[in-house]
A = this chain, B = another copy of it.
Amino acid sequence: MKIGILTSGGDCPGLNAVIRGVVIKGDKLFEDEFIGYRDGWRGVIDNDYMTLPRRRVRGIGRIGGTILGTSRSNPFHDGEDGAAIVRRHMDDNDIDGIIAIGGDGTLFTANRLYEAGIPVVGVPKTVDNDLDATDYTFGFNTAVEIATESLDRLRMTGDSHHRCMVAEVMGRSVGWIALHSGMAAGAHVIALPEFPLTIDEICAYVKSAWDRGRAPLVVVAEGYVPKDAPEGFMNYELDEFGRPRFGGVAEVLAPLIEERLGIESRATVLGHIQRGGEPTGYDRVLATRLGTAAVDLVHNNGFGRMVALRGTEIVDVPLTEAINSLKSVPRARWEEAKVLFG
């Protein structure tokens, strides 16, 4: 078969390992021919792609990022008939199927195309681990390891200076990275979007740790908004130089903690380092397994479905199970972690 591959949405460690898994298995077992669309759906729309012979994926499994580039384009943009665009491209180029590697938006587009008759399968991608229908997504493990390493460093320097360190990690809508890295680093309190603590509650945990002689470590997800945030607290206005009037939530919290408790506090926003760079061994294995399963899925006519992880096994599920369904941190996991706070 002749199969097109695309990576779409945000960058995520492991994308290249998926591509490699697809191409090597497809080439060896099925003698498939592969092309790679540049920058996600844009490459499909613009007919901009590279050939993907086996040698093109040599050694890329451990490289972060994606050799295909990515973007947030989609063929239905501006009311376009996305299916027609894609169908035309596939006819012109004799493409038998498309493997779309991406997050919620990408999988939604994939499903929409499938419902319009386009042969497409999905591989779920989100560094935030917020996609439903799969136990874990690749990239999440890497982000947690990077965050944990940074939190370890912050904790150590907080200990030396007898300070409270407030660290902000990724997680706009869900707190998975904060939950896992916070637990790994022994945070004294973790603030998630799903269970918004009040500033008072955070301060109580900080004080509890401080009174026991610890330098408190506070981990907040970037999407966490304090339950009792005062008016104007999270102000998104920009000033005349185009700068936001405030920092991330960590930069808001740290001075508040210092003011209320008299404990010197410092904020760090981990930012983009969490999604860049080499994937962990765990993510390389998961991504490779998903890639080999995706090419099987194409050959088994599994269009409209996506590969996923259940326990230790790779399965496939309808795309509809994953899209528009946020996997947030359940209360049981929150309670499990909360007992270790303070």
Q: Chain A residues in contact with chain B, CB under 8 A?
A: 10-11, 15, 20-21, 24-25, 28-29, 39, 54-55, 58-59, 61-66, 69-71, 135-136, 141, 144-150, 152-162, 165, 180-181, 183-186, 212-214, 230, 232-233, 239-247, 251-252, 255-256, 259, 266-273, 275-278, 280-282, 284-285, 288-289, 292, 310-312, 336, 339-340, 342
Beta-carbon contact of B233 and A241 below 8 Å? yes
Closest residue on chain B to residue A140 by CB atoms: B282
Number of copies: 4
Cross-interface CB contact of A153 among B159, B241, B277, cutoff 8 Å: B277
Beta-carbon contact of A144 and B339 below 8 Å? no
Residues on B with C-beta less than 8 A from A244 are: 247
How far is it, in angstroms, between the C-alpha of A25 and the C-alpha of B342 when the chains are bound?
A: 11
Beta-carbon contact of B282 and A165 below 8 Å? no
Beta-carbon contact of B62 and A273 below 8 Å? no
How far is it, in angstroms, between the C-alpha of A59 and the C-alpha of B267 when the chains are bound?
A: 21
Residues on B with C-beta less than 8 A from A54 are: 212
Residues on B with C-beta less than 8 A from A145 are: 280-282
Cross-interface CB contact of A252 among B183, B241, B256, cutoff 8 Å: B241
Q: List 27 A-B contacts (CB under 8 A).
A: A11-B157, A11-B160, A20-B186, A28-B340, A28-B342, A58-B214, A62-B152, A69-B161, A71-B161, A136-B312, A148-B284, A152-B277, A157-B272, A157-B276, A157-B277, A183-B285, A183-B289, A184-B282, A230-B241, A233-B241, A242-B256, A242-B259, A243-B252, A245-B245, A267-B271, A269-B271, A289-B336
CB of A301 to closest CB in B, whole Å: 20
How far is it, in angstroms, between the C-alpha of A148 and the C-alpha of B288 when the chains are bound?
A: 14
Please judge, given known A-B contacts A65-B159, A153-B272, A245-B239, whether A339 and B180 are in contact too, CB under 8 Å. no
Please judge, given known A-B contacts A25-B339, A186-B61, A212-B55, whether A144 and B311 are in contact too, CB under 8 Å. no
CB of A123 to closest CB in B, whole Å: 16
CB of A3 to closest CB in B, whole Å: 16
Beta-carbon contact of B64 and A153 below 8 Å? yes
How far is it, in angstroms, between the C-alpha of A86 and the C-alpha of B251 when the chains are bound?
A: 39
How far is it, in angstroms, between the C-alpha of A242 and the C-alpha of B180 when the chains are bound?
A: 30
Beta-carbon contact of A146 and B135 below 8 Å? no
Name which of A63, A183, A240 has the most chain B CB atoms within 10 A of its CB.
Answer: A183
Residues on B with C-beta less than 8 A from A251 are: 243
Beta-carbon contact of A184 and B285 below 8 Å? yes
Q: Closest 5 CB pairs between A and B?
A: A157-B276, A153-B276, A153-B277, A148-B281, A184-B281
